[in-house]
């Protein structure tokens, strides 16, 4: 493949120097605006990587306030039940560096936090992060290295919060159909779909 960028100099020829404001806005702690954003956030993505298993980006979501700010430089994210692939956790054992992207429905800006994770099973912390008495398996305790608000351009281009742009789920294959095609035998698509919502409800926490 030709025309591939392979150096910093090549990149700078295309993009030039970044604006001083892009550097000045980066914080090393969580100020009142970061705290407000986190308190109102029901969804984030967590990017991790490892030399052994590669890169991964995992969604994390719950009611607003599910991410707890522990101090000006630390926050805790509960790890709710999933499919037990534990891709993020495996990566973090090898490499504690993490990138977080916080999103609030209807808000065009996002909050980005980069830092370092400790995987905690502290009983008091897990209790504090519980829902209806059900504790998470563990908590991602993030020490903040960088925190900054990201501009609205990607959200504006995607129109992701525009209700007129919502996609009819029925226009896509069902989850059962997708899994049946991805897994070589052993899964009945209709049977999976029939019980999917109930399985989700029972395993949210």
| pLDDT tens per residue across span 62-76 | 999 999 999 999 999
Domain assignments of the chain as residue spans, ordered by start: 18-158, 167-203
Mean pLDDT, the chain, whole residue set:
95
The CATH number of domain 18-158, selected from 2.30.110.10, 2.60.40.10, 3.40.80.10, 3.30.2000.10: 2.30.110.10
Q: How far is CA 80 from the centre of its chain?
A: 13
Q: How far apart are CA 117 and CA 143, in angstroms?
A: 6
The structure's pTM equals 0.94
The mean per-residue pLDDT over the stretch 158-180 comes to: 96
In our burial notation (b when 16+ CB lie closer than 10 A, e otherwise), range 58-89 reads bebebeeebbbbeeeebbbbbbbeeeeeebbb
| pLDDT tens per residue across span 12-46 | 989 988 888 888 999 999 999 999 999 999 999 99
Q: What is the band of 172 on the pLDDT scale with cuts at 50, 70, 90? A: very high
H or E stretch including 91? Answer: helix 87-94
| pLDDT given for residue 72 in this prediction | 98
The token duo for 198 is 């109930």
Q: How far apart are CA 60 and CA 137, in angstroms?
A: 14
DSSP secondary structure letters along 144-193: EEEEEEEPSHHHHHHTTT-GGGPPPGGGS--HHHHHHHHTTSS--HHHHH
């Amino acid at each position: 493949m030709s025309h591939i960028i392979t150096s910093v100099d090549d990149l700078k020829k295309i993009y030039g120097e970044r604006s001083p404001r892009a550097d000045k806005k980066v914080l090393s702690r969580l100020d009142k605006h970061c705290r407000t954003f986190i308190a109102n956030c029901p969804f984030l993505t967590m990017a991790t990587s490892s030399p052994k298993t590669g890169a991964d980006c995992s969604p994390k979501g719950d009611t607003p306030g599910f991410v707890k700010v522990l101090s000006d430089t630390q926050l805790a994210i509960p790890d709710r039940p999933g499919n037990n692939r534990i891709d993020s956790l495996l990566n973090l054992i090898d490499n504690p560096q993490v990138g977080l992207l916080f999103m609030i429905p209807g808000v065009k800006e996002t909050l980005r936090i980069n830092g370092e994770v400790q995987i905690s099973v502290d009983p008091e912390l897990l209790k504090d992060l519980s829902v209806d008495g059900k504790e998470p398996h563990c908590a991602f305790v993030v020490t903040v290295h960088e925190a900054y608000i990201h501009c609205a351009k990607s959200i504006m281009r995607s129109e992701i919060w525009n209700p007129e742009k919502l996609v009819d789920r029925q226009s896509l294959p069902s989850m059962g159909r997708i899994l049946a095609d991805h897994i070589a035998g052993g899964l009945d698509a209709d049977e999976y779909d029939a019980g999917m919502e109930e399985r989700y409800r029972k395993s949210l926490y």
